[in-house]
Amino acid sequence: MIYWRWWIPLFGFIMLFGFSIIYFIEWKRPRLQQLQHMHTIKQWLAGCLNIFATIVSGWFFASYLFFISGYFTGLFAVLTHNIWLQRLYSFLFLDAIMYAWHRINHIFPALWKYHELHHKEKELNVFSTFHFHPKEIIISTTWRAVLLPLMGIEPAALLAYNALFFAVILFHHSNFNIGYKWDKFLQLFIVSPGLHHLHHSVIIRQSNSNYGSLFSFWDKIFGSHTKYNQQKIEYGVK
């Protein structure tokens, strides 16, 4: 399939280009001035290593789905034979389960003890995107390896979703000052920096909200939305 020819170079370009651009902008136009000292060689190396791991694991995951689809069609293929509808269902489902997974990480102590690491940072910038406990990543990968084939996630939809997903999470973790008006506009459609930074607040009511990864409407649908109104945010976990 054509996916495998362009997957690594295209997604790799999106990740590295997005990472570099957001890094440069947050350095030149920071949301909080004190974060400029956090861009170290160690963080750059860790960021690049995680980008590489994400690209390769995404390629293997899509290959796995393509292989499984030869033996098992999944729910979406039963619902419709239209490949574009299958891709649309797949795309929306992927974002819905990311919302659900994020939310249950905050509900169940057995999962929170790993996810808490991501919330312990006292300052956020683009490097925060990759600050996760390895066990959380392993658990997430395991259940997705079972659920995605059952649903019949179309490999092309997975590749497209991953590319857009990582572009947005790089953006909303960043220390990039886009201004309140732009943030307010973007949060109508995607998870803006303001919405996600509020999720990293030490205030429990705020951190237990805004679980969305890509689209912002899941929080509004399921009652976990907290509006960003330029509140002063103290980051971390109490």
Is there a domain that residue 230 lies in?
Answer: no
Is there a domain that residue 234 lies in?
Answer: no
Q: Which ranges constitute the DSSP H helices of 152-203?
A: 155-173, 180-186, 193-199
Expressed as residue numbers, the domain containing 127 is: 3-221
Is there a domain that residue 226 lies in?
Answer: no
Is there a domain that residue 231 lies in?
Answer: no
The whole-number average pLDDT for the span 140-168 is: 86
Determine contact, residues 4/63, Cβ cutoff 8 Å. yes
Is there a domain that residue 235 lies in?
Answer: no
Q: Give residue-wise pLDDT tens across range 163-204.
A: 889 889 988 998 887 888 999 999 999 999 999 999 999 999
Is there a domain that residue 54 lies in?
Answer: yes
At residue 176, φ and ψ (nearest 5 deg) are -100, 120
Torsion region of 38: left, alpha or beta (phi above 0 gives left; psi -120 to 50 gives alpha)? alpha
The pLDDT-based confidence of 212 (bands split at 50, 70, 90) is very high
Is there a domain that residue 236 lies in?
Answer: no
Q: How many domains does the chain divide into?
A: 1
Q: Which of 63-77, 84-98, 124-138 reaches the highest mean pLDDT?
A: 84-98
Is there a domain that residue 209 lies in?
Answer: yes
The whole-number average pLDDT for the span 207-216 is: 96
